[in-house]
Structure 1
Amino acid sequence: MGTLGRLMFLVAVGAAGCAQPKFAAVPGQTEIAVSGVAIQPRAGERLEVNYKALYEYLGLRKKDPVRPERGFNEYRLAEDRRRIEAFLNEAGRFDAVVDEPEVTYTEDRTAVSVTWRVHEGAAYRIGSVELIGAPADHADALRSMIPFGTGDVISLETYRPLRRTLAEHLQDHGYGHARGYSRAFVDKTAKTVAWFYYIDPGPQTKIGSLAVEGNAKVPADVILERAGLDIDKVYSTAEKRRAEIALLDTGAFASAIVLSDADIQSGPPEHPDTGGVLAPDQVDPDGKIVPRKLTDSLAVRVIVVEAPGKQFRAEVGLEADPTRVDSYAGARLLLRNFIAPQHHVVLEGHVGYGVLIKDGQSADGVYGSALAQYLKPGFVHRALDARVTGRWRDVLYPDAMLREVVAGPGVRSNLAKGVFVDVDAFYRFGRQLDLAAFDPMTSSTFALPSENDSRGAVLEASIIADRRNDRVEPTAGWLLAMRSSYSPGGSLGDHRWLSVIGDARSFRSLSSKWSIGVRGSAGIVGLAGADGIPLGPRLFGGGSHGMRGYGRDRLSPTACDSMTGDCSLVGGRSLVESSVELRLLPFRKLYGAAVFVDAGAAGAGTNAFENGISVATGVGARIRTWYLPVGFAVSYR
């Protein structure tokens, strides 16, 4: 096949892939198009319910640029009448009536418009709320979880599924069999609803038997030790989730799930929620709930899927602002269970090429990093992970480069869901290249190092609490982080310092598309010895991940030599950056946008605001492909 033939073949395949799929005909299907669907009140009445969300689910629908048409069909027309009535019932309109549809054809009968006339009726209200069967020690907590009370409007879609939330609270607290049921009793005379939540908690549960499935390289006893599960130990869904997270945190498993034979409703939520199905023997002649006869001993299974023994990841990227352009490439190789089960090795390397633009002149250079790390989950204690790290890295600052090598042991622990603590004890060697020499007074003012080399012991620690709903594009939740490093100087090092950096972020969803993000960070470097503070712990801000009114690492104090007048950005001993951002992040769309206000300041001493504060406003856009995400931001300071 020649080049032209292959090209025509590819075009044909592409056209076939883009063609509209052909589905089998359904009963009542016609070729008549739907030109419009409308819901209107009866004559003399007005609509109080918002029907916008309902149009999406109707069987007949007009074609628009986003949604395909649903052509005319007598059966679907009848279904739509029931859909509208059910929609009104969900909103507490139990007297609603939907009239026969008004169907209007075009003259050639190729298209039709449908108008529904509705009588919404009165809006019923909550008459009373009862919680029955809750354990005494959890009754108050469960009542506080019910967000409505007497006089409130009706929302069946919201109130019914709450039964599962109540049951899940008890399951989290050791009632492994807990179930909840919801019943609404309608009084059409009083126009009220009496709402009942029935709770059947069952006994407090424990683990009766344990089994591990799916493991090949990691022994079952190692898995159970890491999971923290044992015979006769209290079983709860909170403990189940903690065990799953503990196993996933080892890095040895692609998935881990803990299952039990508890008599509970599992799986995704029902839609619409039924309120829970009660068997005949669960209700006595007086209409009261009969507790199920259940054992307190559960059969528990730990099902794992081991991750591949080797995992390779490569990346390339480009970052640019008016002051510099950086391109980089990197790779990471993870060797799971390389030495023995739960003994992993990580090898990582990056290389970058940076072009710095200053006073109309450019300077360029190559920089990079390399890391070798040994990981041992469950060291000493199942919740404590150990590591040994060796790392070399170059950091390209606006007026200097840091070349740094560190090596030493460290530990990590997951204190709670989303809460991590890391501690590393390193031997560090750092060399600052091309940093200008300054006169003694300037060096003292900025606590600059007297030597370009710095070696000695460094202790690094961090604690992070992450409650964001997404780590890449969060729209709700929050994050708190604290990071610090300490070098004692003296006999253990050439320089002394203590660096503490705090970071707080909060996100609030405004709608399915819009959200607000607020971020604030502050850092300080103290305890400087007589020999100053070297590059590394010194603080630089700005760039796409900082105060966007400055280029990367350019939010920094400027030191000038009193003899030569030469000036350089040397990093500060204090730094503050903050941002407020209005984000547009539509679900499953390739585009996003933001409007932001950033503020920041950096100080030569411990007061970041000694020279005032800078504020920048701007707009940003992003292309949200998983393989090549692109972000742009333009700001004015």
Structure 2
Amino acid sequence: MRRLLLIVMFIFFISGTALAEGLPLVNKISIVGLKRTEEGAIKAKISQKIGEPVSQDKISEDIKSIFKMGYFDDVKVEIEPFEGGVRLIYTVKEKPTIVRIDFQGNKELEDSKLKEKITVTSGSIADTVLIQDNALKIRNFYEEEGYWLANIVPVIKKISEDEISLTYQITEGPKIKIRKIIISGNNSISSSKIKKAMETKEWWLLSFITSSGYYKKAQMESDVEKIKGLYFDNGYIKAVAAEPEISVDRESKGMTITIRVSEGDQYKVSTVDFSGNKVYDDDTVRKLITIPPGTVFSKSLLEKNIQAISSLYSDNGYALASVVPDLVPDENNKTVHVSLAISEGEKYRIGRVEVSGNTKTRDKVIRREIRFDEGDIFSSSKLKRTYERITNLQYFDSVDMVPKPKYEEKVVDLDIRVKERPTGFLSVGGGYSSVDKFIATADLTQGNLFGKGQYLKIKGELGGVSSLYEITFRDPWFLDKPLSFSTGIYKTTRDFTEYNKKAYGAFVGLGKRFGEYWNEDVSYNFERATISDIKAGASAIIIDQQGTKSTSSITSTTTRDSRDNYLDPSRGSRNSFTATYAGIGGDNYFVKALVDSAWYFPIGPTSIMLRGRFGYSKGLFDNAVPLYERFYVGGIYTVRGLGFGEAGPKDPGTGEPIGGTTELIFNTEYVFPILPEMKLKGVVFFDAGQAYQDFINFGSLRYTTGTGIRWISPMGPIRIEWGYNIQKKPGESSSKFEFAFGSFF
């Protein structure tokens, strides 16, 4: 139709005087039909210019160019005489605007998450290609979340001539379980070892807890790299893992993932050399290289060596130092030469240190944890330690440390960005404790009082067999110095099987930090306790302590704590020695000492904890150690799977625990992630321990094993553990299920 119109117009001009002068000139160009689009945007696409002869080819190309903009349903061109030439009239019909976007049928994925995945928004042009492309984006998102049978249909509803609403009609279908993961092409490394290195797992019985067994695209991409890394760690430097092949059985609602591997040959290290070092001599650098020639090449070992060399430089001011490896394989001998190119860069100092994001916490609370001053030589280890110390304040959900090098000034500015978390806790309610049975509690705790980093706790607890009322205050930077001050008062009662105890007391303490990891605390405690309601047949140890006595004691604690995270440690250690002397007045005279050592070792995303404790107490001046100062072994904080005091001396007549004057406890834990994004972990443990009547009777231990979960919840850390009693004795249960809210080992 457009061509016919053009031909007619051309015939009109050819039939007149214009024939003698050639094709008519374009004297004007008009755009008609625009409502939202800028006229200039259209004219920028038009190649036909004013003052030039009219060209059918240019007009045809212009129509195509305008269509390609994607804003129009129709484009027409008309020609009419104008001032001795012609006027071109481009008539367009704009596509309607999307005024509303809805989702229907989605139950598993929220609207807000779906909107994050699409590029079409309210106000967008209703372009068919764009709408279909976003339907595909939604489908891909569902596949990434495991819903491979999801169906997405865009539904357009006309509101007016220029407006439409867009609804994505969603049929989610069931979540597809990974029934089988097939590794093919692997001869040197077993399929089970490859699968163990992967985060993607086949669906199993507890997948509803671990959320494993479902396909996630990002996780799968990471797993492909992990498979390559596994091969590189075993000398297969040319190994290739292909993109996963995914097959979905719509009837069984199951998925099979096939990963094809090309291993290649195994390579050994021939030689290792390095270059570019000027600041440090060859011997200093070579000591950090632990790759022995003749051994199978290992990528992870190479990375450790690179990190060690990088740390040597970055700990001493060379903030931009880098080490780039180059692998030169020898195809004939199946060896690889490793060359490390060191780029030292310039020496940098710390510039400005800015703290942001702390709306409540005062700047000084954060800055006093920083392990360097402005103007100091840059040190990556001090940067890391600063991160650990700020994180261990437990005031922030996240801590980001962003170095900003200034190349001309040779300084590194540092931005410390924190995101605060609630540090106040108010709880009024009830619950159940595996020790105290039913309890009612009221707890008001502020861990960052007035943003000064001070701690205040007011707590009341009433249980079936015990009660506790306490007020505690602690200032970790007393008088803005590296001194701690603590004080508190308490009142407690507890009904034991053979007697009852009532006590009240108060304490005050001072502490001082030494160096980076050491701390010394000294505290004075006064307690007045009453032992009453002694049951008939109780042992002489209990009967002798009937009545009211006071304890006036001083306690000294020396601690070295290098853990990376106090609540959830994975590396470092905590070692302490505590000594108590009671007899500064009062009625009780005794000494008590405790050595406690815990070590944490990371193994990838998992960790191992080894802990040992030895406690000793002795009465002085012919006085016995009070019942409530003796060692009771058994329970969630000592040997799990045993009841309170079961691993220790018992009353000969009734068989009830009476505690020991000496204890020895060992704990081993293997901690692994379950839901990392929720900070939920699992634990497998083995415990051994025993309390003894006296040091001379040191003997065998009681053994237990079990499993549990750890959760860093928004309300605080929670642990739930089940322990199995390996050496069950008459009257004991074969296992115990326990939980605690507070802190881990």
Range class of TM-score, shorter chain: 0.5 to 0.7
For residues 571 and 352 of structure 2, what CA distance do their matches in structure 1 show?
Answer: 39
Report the equivalent of 1:333: 444
Can you give the 5+ residue segments of structure 2 that lack an aligned partner in the other structure? 1-104, 115-134, 150-175, 205-211, 730-745
Tell me how far apart the structure 2 counterparts of residues 405 and 217 of structure 1 sit (CA, whole Å).
35
- Equivalent residue number for residue 520 of structure 1: 612
Matched, 1:181 2:276: no
Aligned to 1:631: 721
Q: Are residues 1:503 and 2:570 paired? A: no
- Which structure has the highest helix share of the two? 2
Describe how 1:47-58 pairs up with structure 2 within 5 A.
47-50=187-190
Shift in Å at residue 129 of structure 1?
0.9
Q: Report the counterpart of residue 348 of structure 2 in structure 1.
A: 205
Q: Which of 571, 575, 584 is matched with 2:663 structurally?
A: 575
In the TM superposition, what is the alpha-carbon distance from 1:544 to its structure 2 partner?
3.5
- The residue number in structure 1 matching 2:637 is 545
Pick one of 480, 497, 502 that aligns with 2:575: 480
Whole-angstrom CA distance in 2 between matches of 1:145 and 1:592: 35
Deviation (angstroms), 1:127: 1.4
- Cα-Cα RMSD: 5.3
Deviations 1:555-576 (A, max 9, x none): 443467xxxx788744332222
In 1, Cα distance between equivalents of 2:392 and 2:681: 32
Are 1:125 and 2:268 matched, yes or no? yes
User: Which secondary structure does the structure 2 equivalent of 1:572 belong to?
Assistant: coil
What is the alpha-carbon distance in structure 2 between the residues aligned to residue 625 and residue 83 of structure 1?
27
**Counterpart contact for 1:349–1:368, Cα < 8 Å:** no
The answer to whether structure 1 residue 346 and structure 2 residue 456 are counterparts is yes
1:516 positional shift:
6.7
Distance 1:112 1:531 in 2: 72
- 1:498, CA displacement in angstroms? 1.7
2:498 maps to amino acid: D
**Residue 606 of structure 1 corresponds to which residue in structure 2?**
695
Alignment of 1:303 with 2:446, yes or no, is: no
Determine if contact 1:93/1:123 at 8 Å carries over to the other structure: yes
Deviation at residue 63 of structure 1 after TM alignment:
8.3
Deviations 1:99-151 (A, max 9, x none): 9x9999x9xxxx99999998755322211112334466586565444342211
Q: What is the letter of the counterpart of residue 301 of structure 1?
A: D
TM-score by length of 1: 0.67
Deviates more, 1:538-547 or 1:304-313: 304-313
Residue 536 of structure 1 corresponds to 628
Deviation string for 1:69-103 (max 9, x for gaps)?
Answer: 799xxxx9xxx99999998677544677999x999
Structure 2: distance between partners of 1:64 and 1:634: 28
More divergent stretch after superposition (224-233 vs 191-200):
224-233
The question of 1:392 aligning with 2:503 is answered: no
Residue 552 of structure 1 and its aligned partner are, at CA, apart by 0.5
Counterpart code for 1:334: T
Deviations 1:574-605 (A, max 9, x none): 22234567x585643989675746342411x3
Question: How far apart are residue 453 of structure 1 and its match?
Answer: 1.8
Query: Is residue 302 of structure 2 the alignment partner of residue 214 of structure 1?
Result: no
Q: For residues 433-472 of structure 1, what are the structure 2 equivalents within 5 Å?
A: 433-435=532-534, 449=545, 451-463=547-559, 465=561, 467=563
Q: 1:312 pairs with 409, 413, 426, which one? A: 426
Contact in 2 for aligned 1:202/1:294 (Cα 8 Å): no
Q: Which protein, 1 or 2, shows the higher relative CO under an 8 Å CA cutoff with sep ≥ 6?
A: 1
Q: C-alpha distance in 1, partners of 2:682/2:423? A: 37
Aligned to 2:522: 423
- Contact kept, 8 Å, 1:505 with 1:517, in 2: the verdict is yes
Shift of 1:369: 1.9
Q: Which amino acid aligns with 1:452?
A: T
Secondary structure of 1:374 counterpart = strand
Distance (whole Å) between structure 2 residues aligned to residue 592 and residue 83 of structure 1: 22
Gaps of 5+ in 1: 1-11, 42-46, 264-292, 355-364
Q: Rg larger in 1 or in 2?
A: 2
1:240 is matched with which residue: 383, 404, 422?
Answer: 383
Q: CA–CA distance in 1 between the matches of 2:255 and 2:651?
A: 77
* Alignment: residue pair count: 543
Is the aligned partner of 1:622 residue 2:714?
Answer: no
C-alpha separation between the residues in 2 aligned to 1:222 and 1:154? 47
Deviations 1:325-358 (A, max 9, x none): 63445454333664x551634123252534xxxx
Structure 2 CA distance for aligned equivalents of residues 95 and 342 of structure 1: 56
Note if contact 1:558-1:570 (Cα within 8 Å) is conserved in structure 2.
yes
Does the Cα contact within 8 Å between 1:402 and 1:535 map onto a contact in 2? no
CA distance in 1, matches of 2:453, 2:256: 68
CA contact (8 A) 1:425 1:458 kept: yes
> Is the contact between residue 345 and residue 372 of structure 1 (CA under 8 Å) also seen in structure 2?
no
How much does 1:195 deviate? 1.0
8 A Cα contact 2:356 2:416, kept in partner: yes
Q: Secondary structure at the match of 2:328?
A: strand
After superposition, the C-alpha distances for 1:247-284 in whole angstroms (9 at most, x for unaligned) are 45556555554443238xxxxxxxxxxxxxxxxxxxxx
Equivalence for 1:39: 184
Tell which deviates more after alignment, 193-202 or 304-313.
304-313
Cα gap change, 1:237 to 1:465, in 2 (>3 Å): same
Which amino acid in 2 is paired with 1:39? S
State the AA in 2 paired with 1:170. Answer: Y
Partner of 1:287: none
Cα displacement (A) at 1:496: 2.3
C-alpha deviation, 1:524, in angstroms: 0.8
CA distance in structure 2 between the partners assigned to 1:528 and 1:462 by the alignment: 23
In percent, how many aligned pairs have the same letter?
A: 19
What per-residue deviation string (whole Å, max 9, x for no partner) do you get for residues 481-534 of structure 1? 333322233xx3332222111233456678978x87654322111352344433
Amino acid at match of 1:175: Y
- 8 A contact 2:531–2:545 mirrored in 1: no
**Contact kept in structure 2, 1:591 and 1:621, CA below 8 Å:** no
Aligned residue for 1:234, secondary structure, equals coil
When residues 113 and 388 of structure 1 are mapped into structure 2, their CA distance, relative to the original with a 3 A threshold, is closer
**Match runs of 1:122-161 below 5 Å:** 122-134=265-277, 142-156=285-299, 159-160=302-303
CA contact under 8 A between 2:503 and 2:528: conserved in structure 1? yes
* 2:468 maps to which of 369, 373, 395: 369
Q: Distance in 2 between matches of 1:84 and 1:574?
A: 51
Q: Give the Cα separation in 1 of the matches to 2:417 and 2:485.
A: 25
* TM-score, normalised via structure 2 length: 0.58
Aligned to 2:68: none
- Aligned pair partner of 2:675 in 569, 588, 592: 588
Is the contact made by 1:205 and 1:236 (CA closer than 8 Å) also made in structure 2? no
Secondary structure of 1:533's aligned partner: coil
Contact kept, 8 Å, 1:336 with 1:342, in 2: the verdict is no
Does the 8 Å contact 1:428/1:458 carry over to 2? no
Is 1:541–1:547's contact at 8 Å kept on the other side of the alignment? Answer: yes
Query: Is 1:497–1:528's contact at 8 Å kept on the other side of the alignment?
Result: yes
SS of match in other structure, 2:478: coil
Distance 1:237 1:380, change over 3 A: farther
Q: Is the 8 A contact 2:314 2:321 kept in 1?
A: yes
SS of 2:659's equivalent in the other structure is: coil
Aligned residue type for 1:482: F
Superposed, 1:41-80 pairs within 5 Å as 47-50=187-190, 67=213
Q: Counterparts of 2:320 and 2:624 in 1: how far apart (Å)? A: 63
